[in-house]
Amino acid sequence: QALLKFADAIEKRAEEFVKLEAENTGKPYALTTSEEIPPMVDQLRFFAGAAGVLEGRASAEYMKGHTSWIRREPIGVVGQVTPWNYPMMMAMWKIAPALAAGCTVVVKPAELTPLTTLAFAQLLQEAGLPAGVVNVVTTTRSGAVSAPIIADPRLRKLSFTGSTPVGKKLIAQAAEGVLRVSMELGGNAPFVVFDDADLDKAVAGAMLAKYRNSGQT
């Protein structure tokens, strides 16, 4: 119910969130309006639906006399680190499925772009989510704050979207507690054009890939 109310609130207050995200990141209004808000609302409703059918089910009998059973259950506290270029959408992608699975979360947005994540946390409380289920930690000292969170024995999973060098460090830290990790790691995204390429299409593709989202894609 909280996820459905959250989706309704995002849809109703879309202009407010578009404006806040544009101020937060410098990205165009049009991009957030058309390419971020609609899928975010859809994802929230999808995971709200998934939360209602998290029961086990028989999947197959792989061995004679044995039935394989799938059981979906919360794993515990999930640490989530979001990037600066799509802070609103990435926060949604991480928070919604964790809540649907019954997990609590600690979200650390990028130090430059925390505003929409903070607004989300407030909106989730207004939607009826108990205090302490979604926690947002902001900081200008990412490493100093992330390390003790990852080392806390209550944390059971780490989800990170960001650069490969930072991801490697977080994976190494997560290994100490044998945490489950989900890593979406990026880099400088080289653009390779081969001899037999259609140059006009290659130029158009490069412009779309490199200058979209105010060059932050």
Q: pLDDT tier at 61 (50, 70, 90 boundaries)?
A: low
d(CA 183, CA 121): 23
* Residues linked to residue 163 through DSSP beta bridges, in sequence order: 186
Q: pLDDT tier at 113 (50, 70, 90 boundaries)?
A: very high
Q: Please state at what angle helix 87-100 crosses helix 14-25, rounded to 10 degrees.
A: 120
Q: pLDDT tier at 29 (50, 70, 90 boundaries)?
A: confident
More confident residue, 176 or 65: 176
How many Cβ atoms from other residues are within 10 Å of residue 116's Cβ? 25
pLDDT (mean) for 186-214: 88
Tens of pLDDT, residue by residue over 129-172, are 999 999 999 999 988 999 999 999 999 999 999 999 999 999 99
pLDDT for position 199: 96
CA neighbor of 112 nearest in space, from 90, 148, 74, 138: 138
The CA radius of gyration of the chain, in Å to the nearest whole number, is: 20
pLDDT (mean) for 23-46: 90
More confident residue, 77 or 68: 77
**How big is the chain, counted in residues?**
217
The pair of three-digit structure tokens given for residue 15, joined into one six-digit string: 């202009």
d(CA 190, CA 209): 10
Question: Residue 55 pLDDT > 70, yes or no?
Answer: no
Determine the residue type at 190: P
pLDDT for position 57: 61
pLDDT (mean) for 193-215: 90
The CA–CA distances, whole Å, from 6 to 17, 37, 131, 149, 170 equal 13, 12, 15, 27, 30
pLDDT for position 56: 58
The DSSP code for 2 is H
pTM comes to 0.85
* DSSP per-residue codes, 42-91: HHHHHHHHHHTT---EEEEEEETTEEEEE-----SEEEEE--SSSHHHHH
pLDDT (mean) for 22-40: 89
pLDDT (mean) for 20-31: 90
The pair of three-digit structure tokens given for residue 169, joined into one six-digit string: 């460090």
